[in-house]
Structure 1
Amino acid sequence: MSRRELADFLRHRREALRPHEVPVTATHPPGRRARRTPGLRREEVAALAGMSVSYYERLEQARAPRPSPAVLTALGTALRLTAAEREHLARLAGQFPPGTDADRGPVPTEAHRLLERLGPIPAYLVDERQDIVAWNDAAAGLIIDFSLLPAAERNTMRLSIRLGTALCSAPAGAEGQFARQSAAQLRAATVRYPANRVLGELVNEFAAHSPDFAAGWRDHNVQPIPTLSKHLHHPELGELELERQTLLLPGTDLQLVMYTAEPGSPSAAALARLAPRGE
C-alpha cells in the first residue's frame, strides 16, 4: 500500500469534484460557512461516504491503515470515480498484487494479425511504458519507419518530443491532451508495476521536457482519453485531420492505437493511398 500516493489521489479527486455534482444536503448543511474553494470539503466527502471526518482526514494525511474494500467502494461512489479510477484506487490501497515485468510477455500472435488486417488504417501497439512494440505498414508510412529506430526510441512520448509540431499538432485548446494522456497512462502503470524503475525514469524524463506532461502527472489523473484529434503534416500526403483512437486489448497491458479520418474527407482519401512499404 502506498499511503502517500493514496492520500494525494484522494485529495486531487476531492478538489476536482464540484459541489453541484453531489447531493445538495451533503454540501449545504445548516449553518455552513461560505465556500472558498471550488472542490468539496473533507467533511463533505466523509458524509457522502458514510464515514467519520477524522478517518477520512487520516486517509488524506497518509496516516490511516489500509482501507477495506467496502471503504474503497464508498469512496469511489462519493468521489464519483470512473471504473479506471476505482481500479487505480484499489491498487493504491493494496487490494491487487503488484505486477512484474514477467507479466508482460511477447506480443500475442493474434495482435500481430489484427494489425495486418487493419490494412490502410495506421495502427500500432504500445505497452505500459508507452513503447511501440508492434505496428503495421500504414503506421510506418504515416509517422516514421519504426524499424529504423533503436528500440529505446520507439516510445510515443519520446517521438512526440523529438518530432514535435514538425509532424503533428492539435486543435486549439487541445494542445496538451496527448502529453496529459501519456502522464495518466504512466501514472496507472507505476502503481501497477511499483518495482519497475524504468517507469519512474520515463516520468522524470518526460516531465523535464514537457510542461503539459508534468502538469498531468501532478493532477494524479488516470482516466484514459479514448480519442484525440490530431493535425498531421505529412511530406507526401499533405495536411491530415485525424483522430487518434486508443483501445485496450483484453487480457493484456497492450493498447491498440489507430489513426482514422472522417469518411469521405480528403484526409480519408489520403490515408487510403498509404501503400505497404516496398510496393
Structure 2
Amino acid sequence: MERDRLAAFLRTRREALQPEDVGLPRGRRRRTGGLRREEVAALSDMSTDYYSRLEQQRGPHPSEQMLAAIARGLRLSLDERDHLFRLAGYATPRRVLRADHINPGMMRIFDRLEDTPAQVVNLLGETLTQTRLAIALLGDDSRHTGLARSLHYRWFTDPATRRSYPEEDHPTHSRLFAASLHDAYTREGRGSRAAAIVDALLAVSPEFAEIWREHPILGPYCAPKRIQHPQVGLLELDCQTLVDPDQSQALLVYTAVPGSESYEKLQLLSVLGDQRI
C-alpha cells in the first residue's frame, strides 16, 4: 500500500470535484475549490474521520469494499478506480456485468434527480443506488446480499417482492424478468453470475423454468408500471430508461402525469420519506 500516493490521489480527485457535480449546493461561504472531506465521506457512506485519515496518510488499510465506496463517492472513472485499487495494494476488480461501479456520467445525471424516484440497476436486476424517493416508493433494494441482490431472483423466490405490484400484472413481470435474465445469460455465458442465478431459479421455481423453456426475448425494459404502495395505495407511473452500454447498467426514472392522482401520491411520499410499512 502506497500511503503517500494514495493520499495525494484522493486529495486531487476531491479538489477537482465540484459541489454541482454531485448535486450539492455551493453556498456563499465555501472557500475550498472542490468538495470538503466531510462531503466525500457522506457520498461514500463512511465517517469523516475514516476518510480524513486516509488523506492524512495515517488511516488503516482500506478494504476493497471501502475503496469501491470511495470510488463511487469521488465519481471515479473505471481507469481511476483501478488506479485507486492498485495504490491500495489490490488487484484491479474484474470488469464484469455485475460490477458495482457506476459510470461518472451516469452518476452526474443521477445526482440531479434528488426529488425524483430514480435508481441505477444492472442487467441482473441488482440495484446499485437509489434516490430517497425511490426508496420510499420501492423500498431499499440495495440492502440485499447474495443471489437476492437480483430483483429477478427475488421475484421468483420471495412472495413479499410481488406485493408491490397488482396481482393481475404478475405474469407480465414474470416474463420481463425471465427475459432480462435470458439476455444477460446470453451475453455472459456459462460460469457467469447470470448463469448462477438462472441455475438456482431452474432448481426452485417451476414458473421460471416454464418461461425459460420458451426462450423469452427482452422487449422494452421499463414499460409503464403500476405499483401498489402499502401507505398511499396504487400508483400508475411511467418509467424512462437511460442505458449505459459500456457498463450494462440503466438509470430508471419514475414519473407521473402532473395533476393526476398518482402525481399527488408521489408528492405525499416525498413528505413521508422512506418509512415503508
> Under a length normalisation based on structure 1, what TM-score does the superposition of the two structures give?
0.54
Partner of 2:198: 203
Q: Which runs of 4+ in 1 moved over 6 A?
A: none
Partner of 1:102: 95
Partner of 1:260: 255
Higher RCO (CA 8 Å, separation ≥ 6 residues): 1
Distance of aligned partners of 1:146 and 1:188 in 2 relative to their CA distance in 1, 3 Å threshold? closer
Question: What whole-Å deviation, never above 9, does each CA across 1:60-90 have from its counterpart, x for those lacking one?
Answer: xxxxxxxxxxxxxxxxxxxxxxxxxxxxxxx
Partner of 1:217: 212
Equivalent residues in 2 for 1:1-279 (5 A)? 101-104=94-97, 105=99, 106-150=101-145, 152-161=147-156, 162=158, 163-169=160-166, 172=168, 174-208=169-203, 210-275=205-270
Distance apart, 1:267 and its partner CA: 0.7
- Give the aligned residue type for 1:191: T
The RMSD of aligned alpha carbons is: 3.1
SS of residue matched to 1:273? helix
- Give the aligned residue type for 2:264: A
Distance apart, 1:213 and its partner CA: 3.3
Distance apart, 1:253 and its partner CA: 0.5
Distance of aligned partners of 1:187 and 1:166 in 2 relative to their CA distance in 1, 3 Å threshold? closer
Distance of aligned partners of 1:152 and 1:103 in 2 relative to their CA distance in 1, 3 Å threshold? closer
Partner Cα distance (2:135, 2:174) in 1: 21
Partner Cα distance (1:186, 1:132) in 2: 15
User: Are 2:127 and 2:142, in contact at CA under 8 Å, matched by a contact in 1?
Assistant: no
Partner Cα distance (2:115, 2:259) in 1: 15
Distance of aligned partners of 1:165 and 1:197 in 2 relative to their CA distance in 1, 3 Å threshold? closer
Consecutive unaligned residues in structure 2, runs of 5 or more: 1-92
Distance of aligned partners of 1:207 and 1:180 in 2 relative to their CA distance in 1, 3 Å threshold? farther
Q: How many residues align?
A: 178
User: Are 1:230 and 1:243, in contact at CA under 8 Å, matched by a contact in 2?
Assistant: yes
Question: What whole-Å deviation, never above 9, does each CA across 1:72-122 have from its counterpart, x for those lacking one?
Answer: xxxxxxxxxxxxxxxxxxxxxxxxxxxx95244521122223223223332
Distance apart, 1:275 and its partner CA: 2.9
User: Are 2:162 and 2:170, in contact at CA under 8 Å, matched by a contact in 1?
Assistant: no
Partner of 2:73: none
User: Are 2:235 and 2:262, in contact at CA under 8 Å, matched by a contact in 1?
Assistant: yes
> Identity of aligned pairs, percent?
26
Question: What whole-Å deviation, never above 9, does each CA across 1:159-184 have from its counterpart, x for those lacking one?
Answer: 434224422226x4x43222212222
Distance of aligned partners of 1:130 and 1:201 in 2 relative to their CA distance in 1, 3 Å threshold? same
- Give the aligned residue type for 2:164: L
Larger Rg: 1
Consecutive unaligned residues in structure 1, runs of 5 or more: 1-99
